[in-house]
C-alpha cells in the first residue's frame, strides 16, 4: 500500500514515488489515494480529551449547525486544564476553524450565549492609555461538563442536566434556543476591536466642515466657495495670520479687486501685520466716538446755559452766553468794553463750569462787579489828566538842534562809505570849502 512507502514514512525525496504506468491496476491506485487522503486528514494530532470535546460539540443536537461548528472550534482552542479561563484566540482564527463568515460567527455566538454555553465579557478600557481592550470568551460550567472537560463527582452532582440528558433533549428546547435572547441589549462599545481604535482621529479623514464665521460669509459674494474659504483659513494659519483679520483690514481693496482669490492669497503671503492695522483702526474709531460723545455733551451743556450770565470766583470777569449759544461775551472789570469770544470757546467754558471756576451770577455779585468797574474807570481817568513831574519838555532848544545836525552828518557819511573826518580833510584840500 502507498501508506507504507518511504515518502510517506518521512524519508523525504530520497526515494521518490515511481511514475504511474499503464500496466498498474487503476483500482489499486484509487485505493491507495483514498488511504492517503484518510491519513492526511488526521494530521492534527489532538489529545483524546480535546478530540472528544470537539466531537461532542459537533454532535450537539439542540444547536444549529453554525453554533455547533463554533463550539467545536472553541473546544479545540480552550485550555483543557483550565476550561474556565479566557479563550485567547482572534476572530480570524475561530472563523477559519469554524469555516464561517464574520456575520455568521457573531450569530453563532448569540446562539451559544442564549443556550448558556459561553459567557461574553464586556469589552474593557485601559484607564491610563484610553484604549479599548479585547473582549474574551469563557466557557460556562454547563458547556465544560457537556464537552467533558469537567467530570462531576459522585458526591456532588452538578445542578444542571447531565450530558446524556442534554444530548436527548427534545425539539422544543432547540426551538427555544433559536429564539433571540441576547444579554447585550445595546452594544457596550462603539468601535471595533483591533488596530482601528488606536487611531480615532486619522489625519487623512475628510470631515464635513461646519458653518463659515459671520465675518467671512461676505466672501461668498466675491466668488469664493465654502471649501475654498476653509482652505484659505488653513493657509492663513500656516502664515501665522487669521483670515478674518486679513479680510477685515483689506476689505475695500479686496471688494474692488479683479481677481480677489489671487489677491487674497498674495496678502496671506505678505509679511504685513494685519492685526495691528485692525487694532489701530479700532483705536481711531473709539477715539473718534469719544470725541463725538464729548462734543455732544459740551453742546448740551452750552445749550442749557444759553442766555445766562456767569461770573468767575475772583469776581473780575462777567461772562454772558448768547441766546443762540453760539458765542459768549467776556467783560473784565479793568476793561472799558466787553469782548466777544467766538470759535473754540465751548470746551474751555464747560471745563471751567465743571471745575466751579465759573458760577451763575447773582444780583449781589452783579452789583459788586458794576461798582468795581466804576471805580477802575475813575482811576484811569484821573491818571490821564495829571501830568507827572518828570515829563519831557515839548519845545526844541539849540542844544537839541545841534545834536540832531551832528547825527544827520554821521548818518550821511556812513551811507557814503567814508568816515566823517576823512571826508572833511579831502574837501578842505580840494576846494577849500568845509563840509557842512
pLDDT tens across 56-93, in order?
A: 999 988 899 999 999 999 998 898 888 988 888 888 88
Q: For the chain, how many structural domains are there in total? A: 5
pLDDT at 19 (0 to 100): 54
* CA–CA separation, 274 and 242 (whole Å): 9
Which of 142-156, 254-268, 409-423 has the highest mean predicted lDDT (pLDDT)?
254-268
Would you say 23 and 32 are in contact if contact means Cβ atoms under 8 Å apart?
no
Listed range (166-175, 192-201, 422-431) with the worst mean pLDDT: 166-175
29 lies in a domain?
yes
Q: Is the pLDDT of residue 1 over 50?
A: no
The pLDDT confidence band at residue 433, using thresholds 50, 70 and 90, is very low
Listed range (43-47, 234-238, 428-432) with the worst mean pLDDT: 428-432
- Name the β-bridge partners of 375: none
Q: Is the pLDDT of residue 124 over 50?
A: yes
Would you say 206 and 192 are in contact if contact means Cβ atoms under 8 Å apart?
no
Listed range (61-75, 279-293, 389-403) with the worst mean pLDDT: 389-403
pLDDT at 435 (0 to 100): 38
Domain of residue 154: give its range. 48-190
* Average pLDDT value for residue range 26-46: 61
Q: Are residues 148 and 59 in the same domain?
A: yes
Q: How far is CA 63 from CA 66, 99, 175, 396, in A?
A: 8, 17, 9, 154
Q: Are residues 311 and 251 in the same domain?
A: no
Q: Are residues 62 and 140 in the same domain?
A: yes
pLDDT at 130 (0 to 100): 57
412 lies in a domain?
yes
301 lies in a domain?
no
Going 386 to 388 to 389 to 393, the CA torsion angle's sign is negative
Largest CA distance in the chain: 182
Q: How far is CA 373 from CA 91, 184, 362, 376, 381, in A?
A: 115, 107, 17, 5, 13
284 lies in a domain?
no
pLDDT at 172 (0 to 100): 47
Q: Are residues 62 and 176 in the same domain?
A: yes
Q: How do residues 210-222 score in pLDDT, each as one tens digit?
A: 788 888 989 999 8
Q: Are residues 158 and 251 in the same domain?
A: no
Listed range (24-33, 40-49, 310-319, 411-420) with the worst mean pLDDT: 24-33
394 lies in a domain?
no
22 lies in a domain?
yes
Would you say 263 and 245 are in contact if contact means Cβ atoms under 8 Å apart?
no
* CA–CA separation, 51 and 48 (whole Å): 5
Q: Are residues 143 and 53 in the same domain?
A: yes
Q: Are residues 15 and 54 in the same domain?
A: no
328 lies in a domain?
yes
The pLDDT confidence band at residue 175, using thresholds 50, 70 and 90, is very low
Residue 231 cell numbers, joined: 482652505
pLDDT at 29 (0 to 100): 60
Q: Are residues 104 and 227 in the same domain?
A: no
* CA–CA separation, 436 and 425 (whole Å): 12
Q: Is the pLDDT of residue 434 over 70?
A: no
Nearest to 273 by CA among 232, 225, 320, 240: 240
Q: Is the pLDDT of residue 191 over 60?
A: no
Q: Are residues 361 and 436 in the same domain?
A: no
392 lies in a domain?
no
Q: How many CB atoms lie within 10 A of CB 169?
A: 15
Would you say 193 and 134 are in contact if contact means Cβ atoms under 8 Å apart?
yes
Kindly state the percentage of the chain with pLDDT values over 70: 67
pLDDT at 178 (0 to 100): 47
Q: Are residues 52 and 37 in the same domain?
A: no
Q: Are residues 34 and 52 in the same domain?
A: no
Q: Are residues 227 and 358 in the same domain?
A: no
The upper half-sphere exposure of residue 380, i.e. CA atoms within 13 Å in the direction of its Cβ, equals 10
Q: Which long-range contacts (CB under 8 A, 24 or more apart) does 49-54 make?
A: 49/80, 49/148, 49/149, 50/75, 50/76, 50/80, 52/147, 52/148, 53/80, 53/147, 53/148, 53/149
Of the two residues 385 and 103, the one the predictor is more confident about is: 103
Q: Is the pLDDT of residue 432 over 50?
A: no
pLDDT at 155 (0 to 100): 39
Amino acid at each position: 500500500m502507498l501508506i507504507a512507502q518511504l515518502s510517506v514514512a518521512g524519508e523525504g525525496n530520497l526515494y521518490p514515488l515511481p511514475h504511474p504506468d499503464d500496466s498498474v491496476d487503476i483500482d489499486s491506485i484509487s485505493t491507495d489515494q483514498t488511504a492517503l487522503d484518510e491519513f492526511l486528514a488526521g494530521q492534527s494530532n489532538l489529545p483524546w480529551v480535546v478530540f472528544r470535546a470537539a466531537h461532542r460539540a459537533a454532535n450537539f443536537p439542540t444547536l444549529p449547525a453554525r453554533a455547533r461548528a463554533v463550539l467545536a472550534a472553541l473546544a479545540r482552542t480552550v485550555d483543557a486544564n483550565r476550561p474556565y479561563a479566557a479563550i485567547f484566540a482572534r476572530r480570524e482564527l475561530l472563523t477559519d476553524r469554524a469555516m464561517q463568515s464574520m456575520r455568521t460567527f457573531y450569530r453563532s455566538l448569540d446562539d451559544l450565549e442564549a443556550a448558556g454555553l459561553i459567557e461574553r465579557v464586556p469589552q474593557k478600557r485601559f484607564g491610563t492609555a484610553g484604549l479599548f481592550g479585547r473582549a474574551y470568551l469563557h466557557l460556562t460550567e454547563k458547556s465544560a461538563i457537556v464537552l467533558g472537560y469537567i467530570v462531576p463527582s459522585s458526591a456532588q452532582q452538578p445542578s444542571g442536566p447531565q450530558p446524556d440528558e442534554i444530548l436527548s433533549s427534545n425539539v422544543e428546547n432547540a426551538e427555544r434556543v433559536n429564539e433571540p435572547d441576547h444579554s447585550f441589549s445595546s452594544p457596550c462599545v462603539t468601535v471595533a476591536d483591533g488596530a482601528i481604535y488606536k487611531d480615532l482621529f486619522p489625519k487623512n479623514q475628510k470631515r464635513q466642515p461646519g458653518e463659515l464665521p459671520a465675518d467671512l460669509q461676505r466672501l461668498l459674494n466675491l466668488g469664493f466657495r465654502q471649501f475654498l474659504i476653509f482652505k484659505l483659513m488653513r493657509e492663513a494659519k500656516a502664515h501665522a495670520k487669521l483670515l478674518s483679520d486679513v479680510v477685515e483690514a483689506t476689505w475695500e481693496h479686496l471688494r474692488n479687486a479683479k481677481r480677489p482669490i489671487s489677491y487674497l492669497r498674495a496678502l496671506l503671503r505678505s509679511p504685513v501685520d494685519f492685526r495691528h492695522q485692525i487694532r489701530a483702526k479700532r483705536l481711531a474709531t473709539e477715539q473718534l466716538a469719544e470725541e463725538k460723545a464729548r462734543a455732544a455733551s459740551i453742546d448740551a451743556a452750552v445749550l442749557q446755559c444759553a442766555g445766562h450770565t456767569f461770573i468767575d470766583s475772583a469776581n473780575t470777569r462777567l461772562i454772558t452766553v448768547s441766546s443762540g449759544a453760539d458765542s459768549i461775551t467776556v467783560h473784565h472789570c479793568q476793561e472799558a468794553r466787553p469782548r466777544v469770544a467766538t470759535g473754540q470757546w465751548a470746551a474751555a467754558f464747560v471745563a471751567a463750569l465743571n471745575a466751579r471756576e465759573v458760577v451763575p451770577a447773582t444780583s449781589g455779585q452783579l452789583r459788586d462787579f458794576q461798582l468795581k468797574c466804576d471805580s477802575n474807570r475813575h482811576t484811569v481817568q484821573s491818571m490821564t489828566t495829571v501830568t507827572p513831574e518828570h515829563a519831557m519838555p515839548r519845545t526844541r532848544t539849540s542844544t537839541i538842534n545841534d545834536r540832531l545836525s551832528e547825527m544827520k552828518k554821521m548818518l550821511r557819511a556812513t551811507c557814503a562809505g567814508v568816515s566823517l573826518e576823512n571826508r572833511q580833510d579831502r574837501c578842505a584840500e580840494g576846494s577849500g570849502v568845509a563840509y557842512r
